[in-house]
């Protein structure tokens, strides 16, 4: 090929195929790593929202110049089960939510009634929907595939495209960015059926939580309501086996 072509072909042996690099060192193209996208998502979601854990969360929201704040306890288990309880403010204290697979329920602070709720329902007036608390189900609701390699906040990232295969999936499509080296979640974009960008999730910071480095502050921007965003701040988290009785409608009622 010769130096006059000013093109060098480098063969990489780290699972990324080959890239074309000019003599000046600029990357022109690269092969997408051959990894199982479901395994990538499993690792990323276990980092973001670990099962068998208990967490204390502060959820702050800014909307049209007004601020609100919720303090919550979140318990997660296997079998796509989760329990959430509002600890503050006073007007929300006592409200509880339960996720059992695709079925979601809630109580009201002043009532023992347990009512079904949509997974798309927002948590208070925040930008987070109820479904955002729990791990994304790529087995029954989304078909994931790796579509590109990009740079997110100066880190090499795999871009996964998750296409809904279930009509009641929370979002029609999700673009999920994870660190190439270890599947650490970096960013996610959520789209509606029309293809409109609804929300954008970004990782603000990370620290040691429940025995591993995890996102502790996460920002969700509402791309439909201008200027509205929420910060999910995990104050505490610990690995914990939660009794099965917690993940029942009866438990919601008895805790009133």
CATH of the domain at 225: 2.50.20.10
| pLDDT at 193 (0 to 100) | 96
pLDDT at 23: 35
**Per-residue pLDDT at 3:** 42
Q: Are residues 16 and 122 in the same domain?
A: no
Task: Please state the domain count of the chain.
Answer: 2
What pLDDT, on a 0 to 100 scale, did the predictor assign at position 11?
A: 35
Q: What are phi and psi of 48, to 5 degrees?
A: -70, -45
| 242 and 149 in a common domain | yes
Same domain, 27 and 45: no
* pLDDT, position 215: 97
Residue 102, pLDDT score: 86
pLDDT of residue 229: 97
Res. 33 pLDDT band, cuts 50 70 90? low
Mean pLDDT of 168-191: 96
Shared-domain flag, residues 218 and 162: yes
> What is the mean pLDDT of the segment spanning 217-246?
96
Q: Choose between 187 and 78: higher pLDDT.
A: 187
Q: Do 211 and 133 fall into the same domain?
A: yes
Rounded CA separation 75/55 (Å): 7
Q: Are residues 130 and 244 in the same domain?
A: yes
pLDDT tens digits for 116-165? 999 998 998 899 998 998 889 998 999 999 999 999 999 999 999 999 99
What is the C-alpha separation between 159 and 32, in angstroms, rounded?
A: 10
Local confidence band at 32 (pLDDT 50, 70, 90 cut-offs): low
Q: Are residues 25 and 145 both part of a single domain?
A: no
Question: Per-residue confidence at 13, pLDDT binned at 50, 70, 90?
Answer: very low
With beta carbons less than 8 A apart as the criterion, state whether 50 and 66 touch. Answer: no
> What range does the domain containing 7 cover?
1-31
Residues 121 and 22 grouped into a single domain: no
Q: In this structure, are 25 and 105 located in the same domain?
A: no
Q: Over the chain, what is the mean pLDDT?
A: 86
User: Are residue 117 and residue 198 in the same domain, yes or no?
Assistant: yes
Q: What is the pLDDT of residue 256?
A: 59
Q: What is the pLDDT of residues 49-106, one digit of tens each?
A: 999 999 999 999 999 889 999 999 999 998 889 999 999 999 888 889 999 988 999 9
pLDDT value at position 7? 38
Residues 52 and 106 in one domain: yes
DSSP letter string over the chain? --GGG-EEEEE--SSS-EEEEETT--EEEEPPP---HHHHHHHHHHHHS-SSEEEEEEEEEEETTEEEEEEEEEEEETTTEEEEEEEESTTTTT-EEEEETTEEEEEETTEEEEEEE-TT-BSTTSS-BGGGGS---TTTTEEEEEEEEEEETTEEEEEEEEEE-STT-S-SEEEEEEETTT--EEEEEEE-TTS-EEEEEEEEEEEEETTEEEEEEEEEEESSSTT-EEEEEEEEEEE----GGGSSHHHHHHT-
Q: Are residues 149 and 221 in the same domain?
A: yes
């Amino acid at each position: 090929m010769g130096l006059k072509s000013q093109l060098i072909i480098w063969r990489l042996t780290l699972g990324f195929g080959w890239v074309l690099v000019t003599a000046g060192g600029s990357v022109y193209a690269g092969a997408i790593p051959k990894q199982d996208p479901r395994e990538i998502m499993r690792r990323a979601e276990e980092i973001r929202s670990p099962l068998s854990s208990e967490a204390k969360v502060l959820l702050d929201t800014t909307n049209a110049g007004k601020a609100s704040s919720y303090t919550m306890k979140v318990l997660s288990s296997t079998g796509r089960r989760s329990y959430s309880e509002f600890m503050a403010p006073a007007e929300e204290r006592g409200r509880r939510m339960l996720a059992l697979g695709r079925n979601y329920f809630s109580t009201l602070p002043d009532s023992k009634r347990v009512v079904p709720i949509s997974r798309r329902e927002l948590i208070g007036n925040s930008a987070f929907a109820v479904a955002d608390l729990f791990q994304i189900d790529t087995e029954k609701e989304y078909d994931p595939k790796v579509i590109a390699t990009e740079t997110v906040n100066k880190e090499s990232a795999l871009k996964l495209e998750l296409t809904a295969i279930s009509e009641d999936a929370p979002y029609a499509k999700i673009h999920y960015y994870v660190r190439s080296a270890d599947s650490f979640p970096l960013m996610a974009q959520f789209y509606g059926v029309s293809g409109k960008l609804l929300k954008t999730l970004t990782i603000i910071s990370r620290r040691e939580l429940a025995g591993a480095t995890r996102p502790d502050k996460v920002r969700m921007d509402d791309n439909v309501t201008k200027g509205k965003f929420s910060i999910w701040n995990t104050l505490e988290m610990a690995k914990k086996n939660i009794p099965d009785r917690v993940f029942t409608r009866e438990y919601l009622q008895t805790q009133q």
